[in-house]
């Protein structure tokens, strides 16, 4: 996917699946295929945490997952690793507040790529916006044990604040979201929900993705 405007990004954020090998009970290739079958709209490769692959093995897995996304026309975004995103010509990157400044990232990856930024306050959101962010990741909305250094969960407060203050940039919520709670995140003003565990640890990955998709689309 090349960046085709705000509406295309809002569509892509709807059912946003994130994972790396430490999050998967089966092989990530299998998990991704099943998640796509269930209707995810974007995939972020996030190879982090205990047992995460590094170097060539990480690159190899990224390429395999990217190939699946290409075949199924699912945007493929890489977490943190700007160099890998450039080397693979990924559709974009997702960065946090501790990563390289967005202006530098934009210079490196170019104007036609998607940059998502995790923000935790109005001020961080404005800085990301000025730096050329394409969407905000906001969370943790609910408690999560997936991210070791996650901040305390803060509900949908920041999403509501940004919308109330007229911010129109696409927003995806993150952190502990399930098919049962996804609707509340969309109602608060998010365009989509991003999840790791709700899909990657599900007994049926396909059914979990379908359920999440249904919850988001019926709002």
Catalytic residues: 46, 118, 147
At 194, list the tokens.
């991003």
Dihedral sign computed on CA atoms, order 94, 3, 192, 194: negative
Contact 211, 39 (CB under 8 A): no
Report H helices in 81-195. 82-88, 102-109, 122-130, 157-164, 182-187
At 173, list the tokens.
């919520």
For Mg ion, the closer of residues 96 and 131 by Cβ is: 96
Residue 99: which of Mg ion, ligand TZP, none does it interact with, CB under 5 to 8 A by kind? Mg ion
Residue 144: which of ligand TZP, Mg ion, none does it interact with, CB under 5 to 8 A by kind? ligand TZP
Contact 109, 138 (CB under 8 A): no
Give the count of residues interacting with Mg ion (CB under 5 A): 3
Q: How far is the CB of 195 from ligand TZP (least distance, A)?
A: 4
Q: How far is the CB of 189 from ligand TZP (least distance, A)?
A: 18
- Examine residue 174 and tell whether it contacts ligand TZP (CB under 6 A): yes
Contact 23, 47 (CB under 8 A): no
- Examine residue 124 and tell whether it contacts Mg ion (CB under 5 A): no
For ligand TZP, the closer of residues 61 and 212 by Cβ is: 212
Binding site for ligand TZP (CB under 6 A): 139-140, 144, 146-147, 150, 174-177, 195-198
């Amino acid at each position: 996917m090349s960046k085709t405007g705000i509406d295309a990004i809002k569509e892509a954020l709807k059912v946003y699946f994130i994972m790396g090998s430490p999050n998967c009970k089966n092989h990530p290739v299998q998990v991704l295929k099943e998640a796509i079958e269930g209707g995810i709209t974007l995939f972020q490769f996030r190879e982090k945490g205990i047992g995460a692959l590094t170097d060539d093995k990480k690159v190899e897995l990224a390429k395999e997952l990217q190939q699946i996304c290409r075949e199924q026309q699912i945007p493929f975004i890489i977490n943190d690793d700007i160099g890998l995103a450039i080397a693979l010509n990924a559709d974009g990157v997702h960065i946090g507040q501790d990563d390289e400044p967005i202006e530098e990232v934009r210079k490196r990856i170019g104007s036609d790529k998607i940059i998502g930024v995790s923000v935790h306050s109005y001020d961080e959101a404005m800085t990301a916006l000025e730096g050329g962010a394409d969407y905000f990741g906001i969370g943790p909305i609910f408690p999560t044990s997936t991210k070791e250094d996650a901040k305390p969960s803060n509900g949908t407060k920041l999403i509501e604040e940004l919308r109330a203050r007229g911010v129109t940039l696409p927003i995806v919520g993150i952190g502990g979201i399930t098919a049962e709670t996804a609707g509340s995140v969309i109602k608060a003003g998010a365009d989509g929900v991003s999840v790791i565990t709700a899909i990657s640890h599900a007994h049926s990955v396909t059914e979990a993705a379908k359920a999440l998709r249904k919850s988001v689309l019926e709002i």
